[in-house]
Chain A
Amino acid sequence: MANLDNIINTAGLTKIYHRLLGFGSNLAVDDLNLAVPEGCTFGFLGPNGAGKTTTIKMLLGLINPTRGSGDVLGRELGNLEAKEQIGFLPEEPAFGRHLKAREFLNLCAGLSHIPRSQRRRRIDLALDVVGLSDRAGGRLGEFSKGMLQRVGIAQAMLHNPKLLILDEPLTGLDPAGRMEIKRIMLELTRRGKTIFFSSHILSDVEELCDNVGILNRGRLILSGPLEKLLDAGGVEIIVEDMPSALLEKIEPFVTGMVKQGRRWVLQLGDENAEKQVKKLLTEGGCHNIRDRRGTVKLEELFMQTIEQNDIAVGKGVENG
């Protein structure tokens, strides 16, 4: 099952929560087939309750799957050797309010089997990356949400893992905090880490990720390279000083035409139409021809995908 090019693979991963004494059940994750390539920044998207955190916890072996299997770093879910190479930031960073930042990181270093001789240096380095060197002696109970998030990232990267799994790292932060966390994430990407993170903030995902997966009602409904997914497939041709006699000839191939001063913006459905129109324009004596690939925003893609899936699920329910 393990595809060695992927750092995370799952096959039919399913989690059903059974209520007490068997009264009803809740399908949290349904037949999830996920593939996360090594070295990428993967955005794991989905509305509230879609099953993102449950999936993450299954990847870490914290929650036992009801069905299906998976591997992380080529080893089965929850494998301790794989966990040596995973850094995790939980959705709610609860780290023991009584501890000082350095004490907490020292505890994490011990649990990550970092040799004692290296601990101080690693902790200093992690605190430096997240910009908390001057607050190393502060108690976690006195830290703001943004600072706790940074401590969370520091503990996740302390043992220099290959894979970072961040559960909602940007949620609940003010703009400055978000900027800071994004800076850290970009820095980690630059260092060659694979980052798998869940988020609701689509503009940030668009900015940070090169691969995304959209989860709805526990099912992965879209996944792949972001660039490919955002490519709407349409093309626009911009031409100046087009003779009016050409309008009739090109009309069958275009899906829309807009005149902007001397310019015409022609909207085309596919590459065949693009070729035909370009040929007609060139033969018609037009020289200033430019094309522009059409893209959609991640937000539009997300909303469309979720809505389509909701409708499909609704129809499925109606049909029995």
Chain B
Amino acid sequence: MDDIMVIARSTASRVLRMKAVYFLLAIGVCLIASGQLYGDITAGQQRAYTLDLGFLLVTIVGVLCALVACFDLPRERREKTMVALLSRPLGRDRYLLGKFIGVCEIALVCMAIMAAALVVISAQMGSGWSGLEIIKGAIILFAGVVQLASIGVLLGTFLKEWLATVVALIIFWLVYAIGALACTAKGITHTLLLLLPNFTIMSAGGLVVRRVELEWIMVLHALMLAVAYSLAMLVVAGFIFRRKDIA
């Protein structure tokens, strides 16, 4: 387990050394805080607007973190860092798992910062939304990001940086409405769509805004789905990666 955590820590620490991450978080927090200035253009709904914007920004930050998985693996292959790492007694599956955990760690930290800012600003505005509901919503969003990170790891095992990122974004965009697509599609298309992750859980923020109470069981289901889906993706990624030459 130690070697997996070494890879995870190394992945997370490399990303957290990037100034862009802090810039992104600062911008995000400022945007949430600025929500209360939009009283006129939101027809007095600035509290709901701020919350909605906040969840959107938490999602965007999470998705950007998940995309690290898309370009980190191909980058390490291109820069040949992977050669030095995999020449050690480190299984390829464990390397992939370490990368995945590292990306999830970054997403967790960044999303937690954004969610905490949302809770504080929301409480300051006296919006009436409970901080716990906001946290539940953020956890469900995190579950969606975990699934996207696993797709990023899978794509990163065989695609170049830019291609993996573009494909991951297309998948994210496509499957955001997967519930509707899967219902209308038939036959093989229907089966294929079911293989893609279900990101309808990422509209949890909308439910919170509409004051729908999120049950803990729903949060648990979202997390279990994320773990199961990610494991399946990592198994496929490991199968592909073991056959790949690290030249």
Contact = CB atoms under 8 A, between A and B. Distances in A.
A155 B83 CA distance: 13
B2 A113 contact: yes
A62 B17 contact: no
Interface string A95-113: 1101000000001101111
B83 to A, nearest CB: 5
B80 interface: yes
A86 interface: yes
A192 B89 CA distance: 22
Interface in A51-73: 54, 57, 60, 62-64
A76 interface: no
Given A108-B88, A110-B2, A113-B3, A63 B246 contact: yes
Given A62-B245, A98-B17, A110-B6, A90 B87 contact: yes
A84 interface: yes
B81 interface: yes
B86 interface: yes
A86 B84 CA distance: 12
B79 interface: yes
Given A110-B2, A110-B6, A112-B89, A95 B246 contact: no
A33 to B, nearest CB: 22
A142 interface: no
B243 interface: yes
Interface in B1-48: 2-3, 5-7, 10, 14, 17
B85 interface: yes
Given A64-B245, A90-B80, A81 B6 contact: no
Contacts of B81: 94-96
B88 A112 contact: yes
Interface in A211-228: none
A113 B87 contact: no
Contacts of A57: 83, 245-247
Contacts of A107: 6, 10
Contacts of B245: 57, 62-64
B89 A81 contact: yes
A93 B84 contact: yes
A205 B90 CA distance: 31
B91 interface: yes
A138 to B, nearest CB: 16
A23 to B, nearest CB: 18
Given A60-B87, A94-B84, A111 B246 contact: no
B74 to A, nearest CB: 14
A103 to B, nearest CB: 9
A88 interface: yes
Given A57-B246, A84-B89, A95 B84 contact: yes
Nearest to A65: B245
A287 to B, nearest CB: 62
A127 B156 CA distance: 34
B101 to A, nearest CB: 14
Interface string B152-188: 0000000000000000000000000000000000000
B241 to A, nearest CB: 11
A83 B2 contact: no
Nearest to A28: B247
A62 B87 CA distance: 7
Task: Name, among B2, B7, B87, B91, the residue most crowded by chain A CB atoms within 10 Å (CB to CB).
Answer: B87
Contacts of B80: 90, 92, 94
Interface string B208-243: 000000000000000000000000000000000001
Interface in B115-130: none
Nearest to A63: B245
A80 interface: yes
Nearest to B87: A88
A125 B92 CA distance: 29
B246 A80 contact: no
A60 B83 CA distance: 10
Contacts of A93: 84
Nearest to B10: A107
A84 B90 CA distance: 9
Contacts of A90: 80, 83-84, 87
Given A92-B80, A96-B81, A83 B87 contact: yes
A104 B83 CA distance: 14
A94 B79 contact: yes
Q: Which 5 A-B pairs have the closest CB atoms?
A: A110-B6, A88-B87, A83-B89, A62-B246, A111-B88
19 contacts: A57-B246, A62-B83, A62-B87, A62-B245, A62-B247, A63-B246, A80-B89, A83-B89, A86-B87, A88-B87, A90-B87, A92-B80, A107-B10, A108-B84, A108-B88, A110-B5, A111-B3, A111-B6, A155-B84
Given A60-B87, A90-B80, 20 more contacts: A57-B83, A62-B83, A62-B86, A62-B246, A64-B243, A80-B90, A84-B89, A86-B87, A88-B84, A90-B84, A90-B87, A92-B80, A110-B5, A110-B6, A111-B3, A111-B6, A111-B7, A111-B88, A111-B90, A155-B84
